[in-house]
């Protein structure tokens, strides 16, 4: 028996090293890491999910941006509502204008459409859909900021000490943070508390309204025993991955944060699994994470729209900056839930940001900008450090304000001030001073800075 177990461990280890060899053959440099943190963003941990023992740790308690790993908690909250009988797999979740306006990656909804709870889960796990995550947040919490408070409270119940959530999808927010250890705890909790739903995390693709949606987790099917959980990326976070392994009675949860690329991150994870799985125990130590019995997930009352479920994902998705959130402090009694009409139709006012990012690959379709047009009035909303930041601001303003702004021509303009290069974010194509002032007023109502620029003679 011992000989067989040893053979099984060697087999898994060989698979891991074979995967590393493939990456090396493709030209991926993994000499600096897979097992050491070489950059300030990097953090990693490997936990024996049978015993709770930490097998490897590097910067595991340091605060890091979770990016789409945030969606692990969004899914936890939805699983909790399902296990409590408040939501079923077929429950339709409505999509508000605010949820539909989230940047890629996304499914692509129109406001008022719905998606079933099960399809929403699968869209988060495979597509890392930001619009679905926000729709879940509003459905369970009444609003995304309130849901973020619920998420943070749940994190505290689970023992996640270095985590604070500000949104449900992981789009950039400087006050949203977690740690490798906290996310490992969450990974263990998902398996322990919801074994009836945990198999969703092994989904590699699914069909939604005639369209096949393929997942980002490339280790599924490549490393024996890997059965989830989630990828994540923003420019600020780097490439993140939480992996769960279950094979031959052994269970691991491993976290890698701050990778320099998808292949480098995957190589690091493969190396960690290959090295530490042989040291894992086959003895089941029982539940390791605090019970969910104190959980109180309330589903906000909502009148569901009569329209059909979401359409096939759009071919072209407009890039936007990350969505706002008010300062979140964990508390026991959340604010009152908005009325159904407010929840479905109201779009919260944003605070403009300048960084974009989400998903695990380059799925953001940048704003197409033009040369500064001659003649006509313009409005300027920002002067920032890069053209990408300026494009993100223009995209968000057009999507958030709509109306007279969406019809205007966005463009960026580079200029030098001293030794520093800046990029103006402007809208053009405005025929009169009155219309420029009207456009500025609409932007200011949504908390965007704005001033009008007269035509140059």
Residues tagged active-site: 68, 71, 128
The answer to whether 230 is annotated as binding is yes
Instruction: Name the token pair of 198.
Output: 């945990």
Instruction: Name the token pair of 410.
Output: 């966005």
Would you say 70 and 230 are in contact if contact means Cβ atoms under 8 Å apart? no
3-state DSSP assignment of residue 59: coil
Q: For 248, phi and psi rounded to 5 degrees? A: 55, 35
Question: How open is the CA angle 102-105-109, to the nearest 5 degrees?
Answer: 55
Instruction: Name the token pair of 403.
Output: 């109306």
User: Can you spell out the DSSP letters for 273-320?
Assistant: HHHHGGG---S-----S--GGG---PPPP-PPPSS-B--SPPSS-B--
Instruction: Name the token pair of 89.
Output: 């797999």
Nearest to 176 by CA among 203, 157, 155: 155
Would you say 60 and 44 are in contact if contact means Cβ atoms under 8 Å apart? yes
Would you say 399 and 318 are in contact if contact means Cβ atoms under 8 Å apart? yes
Neighbours of 342 (CB within 10 A): 12
The alpha carbon torsion through 158, 159, 164, 167 (nearest 10 deg) reads: -10
Query: Tokens 């999910």 appear where?
Result: 49
Instruction: Name the token pair of 449.
Output: 């800075």
Would you say 325 and 317 are in contact if contact means Cβ atoms under 8 Å apart? no
Would you say 101 and 134 are in contact if contact means Cβ atoms under 8 Å apart? no
Separation CA 292–CA 16 (nearest Å): 34
Instruction: Give every CB contact of residue 124 below 8 A, 6+ residues apart in sequence.
Output: 71, 74, 75, 132, 133, 136
The 3 state secondary structure assigned to 314-357 is: CCCCECCCCCCCCCCCCCCCCCCCCCHHHHHHCCCCCCCCCCCC
Separation CA 280–CA 289 (nearest Å): 18
Neighbours of 421 (CB within 10 A): 12
Nearest to 135 by CA among 144, 122, 123: 144
Neighbours of 308 (CB within 10 A): 10
- Which amino acids are annotated as binding site for substrate, given as ranges? 230
- Which amino acids are annotated as binding site, given as ranges? 230
């Amino acid at each position: 028996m011992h000989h067989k177990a040893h053979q099984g461990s060697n087999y898994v280890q060989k698979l891991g090293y074979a995967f590393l060899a493939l990456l090396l053959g493709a030209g991926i440099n993994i000499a600096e890491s897979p097992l050491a943190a070489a950059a300030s963003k990097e953090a990693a941990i490997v936990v024996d999910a049978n015993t709770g023992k930490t097998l490897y740790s590097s910067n595991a308690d340091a605060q890091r941006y979770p990016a789409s790993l945030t969606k692990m908690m969004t899914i936890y909250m939805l699983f909790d509502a399902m296990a409590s009988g408040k939501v079923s797999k077929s429950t339709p979740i409505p999509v508000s204008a605010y949820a539909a306006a989230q940047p890629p990656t996304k499914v692509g909804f129109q406001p008022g459409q719905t998606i079933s709870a099960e399809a929403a889960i699968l869209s988060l796990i495979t597509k890392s859909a930001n619009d679905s995550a926000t729709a879940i947040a509003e459905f369970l919490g009444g609003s995304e900021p309130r849901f973020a408070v619920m998420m943070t409270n749940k994190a505290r119940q689970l023992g996640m000490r270095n985590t604070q959530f500000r949104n449900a999808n992981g789009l950039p927010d400087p006050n949203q943070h977690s740690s490798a250890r906290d996310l490992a705890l969450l990974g263990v909790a998902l398996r322990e508390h919801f074994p009836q739903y945990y198999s969703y995390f092994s989904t590699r693709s699914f069909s939604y309204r005639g369209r096949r949606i393929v997942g980002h987790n490339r280790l599924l099917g490549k490393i024996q025993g890997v059965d989830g959980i989630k990828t994540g990326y923003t420019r600020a976070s780097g490439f993140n991955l939480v992996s769960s392994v279950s094979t031959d009675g052994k269970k691991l949860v491993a976290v890698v944060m701050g990778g320099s690329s998808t292949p480098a991150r995957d190589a690091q994870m493969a190396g960690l699994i290959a090295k530490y799985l042989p040291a894992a125990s086959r003895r089941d130590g029982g539940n390791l994470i605090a019970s969910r019995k104190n959980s109180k997930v309330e589903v906000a009352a909502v009148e569901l729209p009569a329209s059909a479920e979401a359409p096939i994902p759009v071919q072209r998705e407009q890039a936007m900056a990350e969505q706002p959130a008010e300062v979140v402090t964990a508390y026991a009694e959340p604010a009152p839930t908005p009325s159904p009409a407010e929840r479905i139709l109201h779009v919260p006012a944003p605070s403009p940001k300048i960084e974009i990012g989400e998903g695990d690959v380059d799925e953001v379709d940048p704003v197409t900008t033009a040369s500064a047009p001659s003649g006509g009035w313009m409005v300027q909303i920002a002067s920032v450090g890069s053209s990408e930041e300026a494009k993100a601001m223009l995209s968000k303003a057009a999507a958030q304000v709509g109306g007279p702004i969406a019809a205007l021509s966005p463009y960026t303009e580079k200029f030098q001030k001293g030794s520093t290069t800046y990029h103006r974010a402007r809208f053009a194509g405005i025929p009169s001073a009155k219309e420029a002032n009207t456009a500025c007023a609409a932007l200011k109502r949504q908390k965007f800075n704005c001033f009008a620029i007269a035509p140059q003679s």
